[in-house]
């Protein structure tokens, strides 16, 4: 099937404005007749629930945390992009659009990316009005800093706590709507199935994580804003509760899953120090504004104290390889470059899996006080974890799984191929292509929640009858029965393996074979191993406790069971994409200098997968990508 993204035509500068005008509207008096479910309360979900509630819709919002304030968006550090051009350094909406398309290695839709760039300025105005404490310069104006993949300063920030501050802004707006009773909040509740009636999304089946109750919630439309899936690697920078479950359940009910092989490895994370770790810690990309990445030139120097290695024996590899962008090269490029140094035997720290991020030059230039003002909390966090003072000794960093560019397929209206199912933020595939530029995740989440879904969902709701659903429908009972049967099946196994043992083993295979560098051989090896873990899980896992109660063992088991299925689809997608692009790096497809080698003739498209049932291979669909405003070119940051 050739998929239609329903992108508007005409001059790209006018597409979003014209599309908004052409959308059908729901008048204010009728909005209160419609109910909308929002799953996930991070930046995308929280902003969407607050905005839809403010418009007058009845909203039910769900999160598995004890409060929307604990959504993983709170962990974002470095900033949020917008094309306001305050530094007067040549930025514009078009340049943000261009950098994002190029940064994604020409694997995203132009129309979606243009809209993202266009509404970016509105996001900053909205957040300032909410009281978000963005950094300001000496004169009191909003300050900006640079991020990877751009040669302008367009990133607004609140030290290293930008995600936290933005989430608190969205949470304040959400709290207002909860008080106004336009939004009903369901914390500690996990979505375990999508209810589809006659091909239309009409509700979700959830488990109350405190009482264990399984129940259905019905609505006129469902919005999934449940984040990404990089915890398939076990170790990642994501919160441990982040999972693929919500979008995977939607996939198994017919929603297409697009580009699952596109995952991002972040270049600046604290290296793993042992097998006891359950997650990795991100160090913001903003640190590369003042920090310089280097590794020893000589292998024998790799275990020396960094201060004992003279300047002439240090390889500032990003500055050497990419002089135009230097330490602010995009994440996929910077990650592979760090891996190259370590693979060459010049890595530092335990196991030789690390490179240095050195601030001495910046401290000498602007003083330690200024560096503390910019990044103080990040330095404090690094010292708490490593017991090292990064003002005196360079940070040790290494790449780690961080973000998902792939996700459920959506059209220009953010609606999946299932009518009534909308997907927002990291859970959809739409704007980042094969690589996300730094500070663009927060931009997409808030753009989708505040400025896209409030318009596009009205076009759908205006075409249907309000309240045309019933919790007594046979599909609701079937969904509840299926969820209960799956839970009972896990309890009945009573094997010898813990969920964590199997999960850790899956993550190791995924990281080694489907991680930063992939090959035909490594992907085929993963496809041999993954079914073994799945078989081991369903025959020998031990899930303790009971279903009708608070049971985190059960929660983890359900999420791992979904990862065991999703991992195979992700690997299959990586195997059939015979090219290198962005974060998807196939060893067989690289330039003579080691850069990614795209194949635009055969792979300039979105790959969307359709579930065809247990034991059957998924069906592949494609959406061709057209580039009329940013012409296809070899991506270069040199």
The CATH number linked to 287 is 3.90.700.10
Element (H, E) at 574: helix 552-576
Neighbours of 182 (CB within 10 A): 20
Question: What DSSP letter does each residue of 315-372 carry, written as one string?
Answer: E-HHHHH-TTTGGG--HHHHHHHHHHHIIIII--SGGG--EEEE-HHHHHHH-HHHHH
Asked if pLDDT for residue 485 goes beyond 90, the answer is yes
Confirm whether 149 is domain-assigned: no
Q: What is the mean pLDDT of residues 174-199?
A: 98
CB neighbour list of residue 267: distance below 8 Å, 6 or more residues apart: 285, 293, 331, 334, 335, 337, 338, 397, 399
Answer whether residue 275 shows pLDDT above 90. Answer: no
How confident is residue 611, by pLDDT bands cut at 50, 70 and 90? very high
Report the C-alpha gap between 324 and 315 in whole angstroms: 17
Judge whether 616 lies within some domain: no
pLDDT tens figures, 110-161 = 999 999 999 999 999 999 999 999 999 999 999 999 999 999 999 999 999 9
Looking at residues 241-266, what average pLDDT do you find? 98
Count of alpha carbons within 13 angstroms of residue 591, beta-carbon side: 10
What single string gives the DSSP state of each residue in 164-230? HHHHHHHHHHHHHHHHTTSEEEE-SEEEEEEEEETTEEEEEEEEETTT--EEEEE-SEEEE-----G
Asked if residue 321 belongs to a domain, the reply is: yes
| Residue-wise pLDDT tens digits, 499-552 | 999 999 999 999 999 999 999 999 999 999 999 999 999 999 999 999 999 999
Query: Is 357 domain-assigned?
Result: yes
Domain extent at residue 397: 266-402
The torsion region of residue 433 among left (phi > 0), alpha (psi -120 to 50) and beta comes to left
Name the residues annotated as catalytic: 331
Q: How far apart are CA 285 and CA 335, in angstroms?
A: 11
Q: Is residue 303 a contact partner of residue 347, using CB atoms and an 8 Å limit?
A: no
pLDDT at 277 over 90: no
Domain count of the chain? 1
Condensed to tens digits (0 to 9), the pLDDT of residues 156-182 reads 999 999 999 999 999 999 999 999 999
**Residue 487 clears pLDDT 90, i.e. is over it:** yes
**Residue carrying structure tokens 């998929």:** 3
CA separation for the pair 4, 411 (Å, rounded): 7
What confidence tier does 274 reach under pLDDT thresholds 50, 70, 90?
Answer: confident
Q: Does residue 174 contact residue 59 with C-beta atoms inside 8 Å?
A: no
Percent of the chain's residues with pLDDT above 90: 98
Residue 211: pLDDT band (50, 70, 90) is very high
Instruction: Please report whether residue 516 resides in a domain.
Output: no
Of the pLDDT bands very low, low, confident and very high (cuts 50, 70, 90), residue 2 is very high
Buried b / exposed e along 612-626 (16+ C-beta atoms within 10 A): eeeeeebeebebebe
Structural domain includes residue 322: yes
Question: For residue 62, is pLDDT > 90?
Answer: yes
Classify residue 485 as exposed, middle or buried by CB count within 10 Å of its CB (0-12, 13-18, 19+).
exposed
Query: Is 278 a member of any domain?
Result: yes
Q: Residues 563-578: what's their mean pLDDT?
A: 98
Judge contact between 153 and 146, C-beta under 8 A. Answer: yes
pLDDT of residue 77 exceeding 90, the answer is yes
Q: Is residue 386 part of a domain?
A: yes
pLDDT at 514: 98
Q: Quick check: 276 pLDDT over 90?
A: no
Q: DSSP string spanning 51-68?
A: HHHHHT-EEEEE-SSSSG
The CA distance from 383 to 49, in Å, is 37
Mean pLDDT computed over 61-90? 96
What is the arithmetic mean of pLDDT over 69-73? 96
Whether residue 273 has pLDDT greater than 90: no
H or E, element range at 423: strand 421-423
Q: Please report how the helices 110-130 and 15-22 are oriented relative to each other, as an axis angle in degrees rounded to 10.
A: 80
Average pLDDT over residues 258-272: 97
- The pLDDT tens digits of the residues spanning 285-310 come to 999 999 999 999 999 999 999 999 99
């Amino acid at each position: 099937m050739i998929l239609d993204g329903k992108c508007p035509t005409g001059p790209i500068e006018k597409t979003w404005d014209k599309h908004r005008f052409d959308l059908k509207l729901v008048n204010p008096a009728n909005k209160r007749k419609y109910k909308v479910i929002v799953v996930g309360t991070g930046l995308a979900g929280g902003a969407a629930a607050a905005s839809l509630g403010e418009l007058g819709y009845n909203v039910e919002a769900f999160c598995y945390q004890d409060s929307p304030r604990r959504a993983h968006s709170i962990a974002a550090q470095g900033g949020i992009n917008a094309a306001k051009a305050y530094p007067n350094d040549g930025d514009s909406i078009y340049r943000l659009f261009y950098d994002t398309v190029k940064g994604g290695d020409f694997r995203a839709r132009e129309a979606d990316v243009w809209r993202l760039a266009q509404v970016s300025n509105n996001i900053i105005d909205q957040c300032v009005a909410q009281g978000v404490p963005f950094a300001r310069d000496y004169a009191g104006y909003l300050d900006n800093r640079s991020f990877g993949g751009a040669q302008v300063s367009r990133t607004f920030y609140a030290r290293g706590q930008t995600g936290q501050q933005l989430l608190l802004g969205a949470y304040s707006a959400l709290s207002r709507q909860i008080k106004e009773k336009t939004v009903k909040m369901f914390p500690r509740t996990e979505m375990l199935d999508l209810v589809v009636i006659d091909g239309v999304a009409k509700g979700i089946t959830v488990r109350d994580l405190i009482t264990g109750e399984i129940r259905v919630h019905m609505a006129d439309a469902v919005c999934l804003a449940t984040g990404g899936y990089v915890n398939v690697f076990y170790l990642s920078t994501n919160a441990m509760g982040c999972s693929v479950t919500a979008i995977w359940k939607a996939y198994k009910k017919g929603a297409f899953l697009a580009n699952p092989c596109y995952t991002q490895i972040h270049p600046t994370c604290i290296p793993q120090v042992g097998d006891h770790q359950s997650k990795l810690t991100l160090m913001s990309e903003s640190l590369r504004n003042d920090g310089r990445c280097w590794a020893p030139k000589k292998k024998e120097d790799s275990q020396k104290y960094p201060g004992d290695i003279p300047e002439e024996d240090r390889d500032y590899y990003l500055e050497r390889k990419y002089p135009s962008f230097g330490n602010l090269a995009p994440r996929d490029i910077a990650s592979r470059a760090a891996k190259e140094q370590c693979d060459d035997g010049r890595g530092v720290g335990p196991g030789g899996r690390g490179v240095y991020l050195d601030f001495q030059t910046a401290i000498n230039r602007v003083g330690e006080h200024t560096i503390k003002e910019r990044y103080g909390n990040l330095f404090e966090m690094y010292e708490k974890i490593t017991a090292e003072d990064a003002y005196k000794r360079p940070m040790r960093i290494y790449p780690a799984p961080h973000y998902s560019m792939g996700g459920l397929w959506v059209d220009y209206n953010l609606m999946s191929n299932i009518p009534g199912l909308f997907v927002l933020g990291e859970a959809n595939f739409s704007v980042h292509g094969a690589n996300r530029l730094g500070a663009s995740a927060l931009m997409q989440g808030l753009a989708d929640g505040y400025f896209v879904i409030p318009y596009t969902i009205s076009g759908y709701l205006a075409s249907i009858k309000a309240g045309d659903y019933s919790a007594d429908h046979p599909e609701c009972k079937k969904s509840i029965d299926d969820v209960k049967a799956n839970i009972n099946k896990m309890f009945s196994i009573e094997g010898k393996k813990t969920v964590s043992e199997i999960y850790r083993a899956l993550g190791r295979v995924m990281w080694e074979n489907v991680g930063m560098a992939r090959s035909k051989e490594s992907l085929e090896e993963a496809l041999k191993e993954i079914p073994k873990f799945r078989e081991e899980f369903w025959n020998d896992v031990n899930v303790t406790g009971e279903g009708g109660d608070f049971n985190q063992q059960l929660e983890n088991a359900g999420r791992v069971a979904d990862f065991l299925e999703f991992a195979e689809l992700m690997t299959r997608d990586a195997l059939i994409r015979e090219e290198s692009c962005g974060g998807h790096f196939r060893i067989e497809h690289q330039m003579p200098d080691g850069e990614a080698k795209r194949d635009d003739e055969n792979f300039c498209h979105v790959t969307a997968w359709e579930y065809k049932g247990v034991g059957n291979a998924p069906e592949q669909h494609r959406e061709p990508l057209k580039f009329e405003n940013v012409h296809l070119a070899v991506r270069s940051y040199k």
